[in-house]
Amino acid sequence: MPRYKLTIEYDGASYSGWQRQPGRSSIQASLEAAVKKFCGEEPVIRGAGRTDAGVHALGQVAHLDLSVSHPPDKVRDALNFHLKREQIAILAAARVDDDFDARFSAVRRHYLYRIQSRRARSILSQGRVWWAPRSLDAGAMHDAAQRLTGHHDFTTFRATDCQAKSPVKTLDLIKVETVGGEVHIRVSALSFLHNQIRSFAGSLKLVGEGRWTADDLQAALEARNRRACGPVAPPWGLYLQRVDYKQSDEKT
């Protein structure tokens, strides 16, 4: 069966998240409905990451198997036609090897968290950024964030209902910078715990406001206790930006 890799952009505001849920609108279910309208097939579409309700994607990756081979551009365009009433777009489709798996073949995931730091509340970016009416010190946030890089037990920054077998993860990169009046937190790793990035963002915001120091952030990490975490940032500032794979599995 031909396997296709999809690169997907979506606005997560109107969805209960990536994963299909009974009685709720999800990215996965909407994509599967579009596939059925396109070719009558009902494959399970598997994504690289299960984004939560309200979380957006600039470059989510998924794969699906079809029984009939179609040109990748036709798959992309046909799905976009059937998704025209959704807040979802297929940026690219490609044929891949049968052993390609959007989730398990991934070697790194990149996320972006956006905070709009200004006195006036956000209007045009509402639902796209976390508004912070107090000025944030992005430099202090960046310096403190480096305490989180490396191999750690991230229990403090893990949701209580997280289903990961272990709280130990390796954080490859975390960078905080000011971009056009916003504070951007960029994070990269092989995988993340449930609510890990939003927990980072909420705690780093305390640093940016001067309420926490880098030592406070490190103490929270070392506490390995969820109660030591700062407030969890809302989902609407979070974006799955890109997913990397070891080598190109795309067929020419």
Catalytic residue set: 52
Kind and range of the H or E element at 41?
none
Q: Which residues lie below 8 Å from residue 105, measured CB to CB, with a gap of 6+?
A: 99, 245, 246, 249
d(CA 194, CA 169): 12
The CA distances from residue 166 to 158, 170, 194, in Å, are 10, 12, 11
Structural contact between residues 98 and 19, judged by C-beta atoms closer than 8 angstroms: no
Distance CA 35, CA 29 (A): 10
Let me know: does 96 contact 250? Beta carbons within 8 Å: yes
Cα 190 to chain centroid, rounded: 12
- Token pair of 216 as six digits: 């406070």
Each as own residue / partner, the long-range contacts of residues 71-79 (CB below 8 Å, 24 or more positions apart, any chain) are 72/4, 75/4, 75/6, 75/38, 76/6, 78/38, 78/39, 79/6, 79/31, 79/34, 79/35, 79/38
Contact 206, 78 (CB under 8 A): no
